[in-house]
Amino acid sequence: MKVRAFRVVLQSLPLLLSSAGMARPQGRIVEPADIIVVHGRVYTENPKQPWAQAVAIRHGKITVVGDDPEIERRRGMGTKVINAGGKLVLPGFVDCHIHFMDGSLSLGRVNLEGAKDPSEIQKRLRQYAVEHPGDDWILGRGWNYAMFGPEALPHKKYLDEIFPNRPVFLEGYDEHTYWVNSKALVLAGITRDTPDPPNGTIVRDPQTGEATGALKESAQDLVAKIIPKPSRAEKLLALRAGMRWANQHGITRVHSAGQDFEDLDLFDEMRRRGDLSVRLYIAYFLNPPELRPQDLQAIEHARKKFHDDWIDAEAVKFMVDGVVESHTAAMLEPYSDGPSLKGKLFWEPSKYKAAVVELDKHGLQLFTHAIGDYAVRTALDAYENAETQNHKKGDRRPRIEHIETIAQSDIPRFGKLGVIASMQPLHAYPDSNTLDVWARNAGPDRASRAWAWKSIADAGGRLAFGSDWPVVTLNPWEGMQTAVTRQTSDGKPAAGFVPEQRLTVAQVVEGYTLGAAFAGRREKSEGSLEVDKLADLIVVSQNIFDINPHNIGVTKVVTTIVGGHLVYQADTK
């Protein structure tokens, strides 16, 4: 009897091991997965295994990518099972250009996006004031130049009509022009005699010299500096809301291009508490006119303290020009609608070049905001000079952010110099702001090379995509649809806006995943669904490879996993 009982135990052992998750493929004991995603259409971004059915995750990393039976063998008693139900599974998306604190705070302020005219803006402001009574500042953002007709600039009169005694400060959608009322101008001490600050313009009435309420570029600082700052607790609440919003749209990492470096300690606190659900690559914003010793000290201190998979601070952001709509982007030739205007560089070229050389020598990654064709050329020249001066030392991967227009001769330089084109597809959305203001100001020749991402890629350049949130929504699906169609959601223009720059769905997915990881110097650990890479992945509502591209923008995220943790699950009831 004892012998028989022993045999029964031996015969049952494989089953017991399997039920405990101790699968033994090829004679090896394999520990059970923490999470398995099964029954999916897994698009991996791995050319050696482009598609799969399922993924296994353990200790925050991907352990197996394969078919359902293979992954099921990793199921143990404690394994969480996510049934994708045949839906598309993708690597987690990276937003390569974002202002995360600003975007997070904006979620609790008045939103003017999509308003048609000043009347609708006033309606939204009145409603906000009813919901937020008092005499404190009204803050908001999202208006665009086309909302104000041919003038393309806001005026304080629309705000004074409803807020004669309550200060108002409204950020334009692009964060380059701001709109204030008379009360705000008085509190800031701005009069007809106030001089324009460096790299800024107080827009004035040509007859009286009085400020109109529009403040371009750094002139907004004159008002912003007197607005009460949010408390630490308010910032933390906003950041948590911002991360939930990002995860809901499939964002698992962001590249911060300014305004977040100062809050590194807040992100660090969230990490210690286990509250981080978005990975962060944060750039130091370097103000003109030059690189100072204290800048280097701050950069190096942060770099030593924050350099892991969750918070990384080894990048520096320059801004060398403004935007086309307000004529502050730096152009090689005059604006089409203003023969005396070419914009100007915010940095003196020699000081910008010197700063690029020095920071490049330290192995830091450099981001440069450059929108006009002269600014883009200036950035390319500075990067080429740094390569020559520093003899190609290190893993540079310098980046240019935005690149809204570019000289034809500069397009191949991205590939030649290894400069990454970090662009924001939704900025090219061909609405009235783009077609009636941007294209008018740029003129037909420059507009023919508007957001020339395909030309840059065809010439060997690497693309990385983002949003510039809160400039536009961080929802990547709307940006993806724009990149593939070059049309509005209702199919305009019929032929597309510069249609030769359309990309395939696969190209755009790469720009938000593996290309984005490359742009952040993390393609060895992120950006694709491969064994030993970080377990950042999403399940989405529809297969964007198979549908009409004009429907990509309505894609919803069903599940978001970051570092092997389920951080978002849609309510499917």
- Write out pLDDT tens, residues 495-529: 999 999 999 999 999 999 999 999 999 999 999 99
Instruction: Tell which residue, 408, 334, 350, has the closest CA to residue 376.
Output: 408
Q: What is the model's pLDDT at position 296?
A: 97
| pLDDT of 376 strictly over 60 | yes
| pLDDT of 490 strictly over 70 | yes
Q: What is the mean pLDDT of residues 157-169?
A: 95
Task: Sheet with 35-38: list strands edge to edge.
Answer: 61-66, 54-58, 35-38, 80-83
Q: What is the model's pLDDT at position 173?
A: 83
| pLDDT of 217 strictly over 60 | yes
Q: What whole-number distance in Å separates Cα of residue 479 and Cα of residue 553?
A: 8
Location of each CATH 3.10.310.70 domain in the chain: 100-224
Q: How confident is the model at residue 12 (pLDDT cuts 50, 70, 90)?
A: very low
CATH 3.30.300.30 for domain 284-534, yes or no, is no
Q: What is the mean pLDDT of residues 342-368?
A: 97
3-state class of 496 per DSSP? coil
Q: What is the model's pLDDT at position 6?
A: 39
Percentage of the residues of the chain whose pLDDT score is greater than 90: 87
Task: Sheet with 251-256: list strands edge to edge.
Answer: 93-98, 251-256, 279-285, 311-319, 365-370, 399-402, 420-423, 462-465
Q: What is the model's pLDDT at position 260?
A: 97
Q: What is the model's pLDDT at position 573?
A: 55
Pair of tokens at residue 23: 């699968």
Q: What is the model's pLDDT at position 532?
A: 98
Q: What whole-number distance in Å separates Cα of residue 191 and Cα of residue 222?
A: 11
Comparison of pLDDT for 264 and 150, the residue scoring more: 264
3-state class of 17 per DSSP? helix
Q: How confident is the model at residue 21 (pLDDT cuts 50, 70, 90)?
A: very low
Q: What whole-number distance in Å separates Cα of residue 122 and Cα of residue 415?
A: 47
Instruction: Tell which residue, 300, 312, 224, has the closest CA to residue 260.
Output: 312
Q: What is the mean pLDDT of residues 185-204?
A: 93
Cβ atoms of 423 and 402 within 8 Å: the answer is: yes
Q: What is the mean pLDDT of residues 117-123?
A: 93
Q: What is the mean pLDDT of residues 328-353?
A: 96
| pLDDT of 10 strictly over 80 | no
Q: What is the mean pLDDT of residues 338-353?
A: 96
Provide the whole-model pTM.
0.88
Q: How confident is the model at residue 237 (pLDDT cuts 50, 70, 90)?
A: very high
Side-chain half-sphere exposure of 463, counting CA atoms within 13 A: 27
Q: What is the model's pLDDT at position 23?
A: 44
Q: What is the mean pLDDT of residues 67-96?
A: 97
**pLDDT, averaged across the chain:** 93
100-224 adopts what CATH topology?
Diaminopimelate Epimerase; Chain A, domain 1 (3.10.310)
Location of each CATH 3.20.20.140 domain in the chain: 284-534
| pLDDT of 9 strictly over 70 | no
Least confident piece of the model among 113-117, 269-273, 289-293: 113-117
3-state class of 149 per DSSP? helix
Instruction: Tell which residue, 90, 42, 87, has the closest CA to residue 526.
Output: 90
